[in-house]
Amino acid sequence: MDMLHAMGPETVVITSSDLQAPLGNDYLIALGSHRKTKADGTKMTQRIRVESPKVDAVFVGTGDLFAAMLLAWTHKHPNNLKVACEKTVSAMQHVLQRTIKSAKAQAGEGNKPNSAQLELRMVQSKKDIENPEIIVKATVL
């Protein structure tokens, strides 16, 4: 993350890493870092880790949705990467859980959902995207 900061961006978030999650193999880790320069010229860095449960399905568009929500939440909370990431990852979990539930219902009991059935339920998740209940907490490192 420091190498990426050195290239210019104040905020860096790495998602879906292969690092071992302290909560276990059923979790993905996202790491974030926000660096800003204080009025006195000193640099301050906030680093966070977010662990979210893996979902046993392949979706299309999750990276785009994550990037859009992270941009929105960091704009709303410019000095609090922890809150921005908690809202982003929590909203993602709501969307994915709603999507998988709907896809399984469409596929029928015992059948694996197909890619069309796994289309993200973004319209149905509008309220969760706009104001997500925080179900995934970030850890300040």
Model pLDDT for residues 41-91, shown as the tens digit of each residue? 888 999 999 999 988 899 999 999 999 999 999 999 998 999 999 999 999
pLDDT above 80 for 38:
yes
Q: Where are the domains of the chain?
A: 1-140
Are 125 and 111 within 8 A, CB to CB? Answer: no
Q: Which residues are catalytic?
A: 64
Model pLDDT for residues 5-37, shown as the tens digit of each residue? 999 999 999 997 778 888 888 899 999 999 988
d(CA 46, CA 61): 28
Residue range 1-140 forms a domain whose CATH class is alpha beta
pLDDT (mean) for 108-115: 92
d(CA 129, CA 133): 9
Encoded amino acid at 112, one letter: K
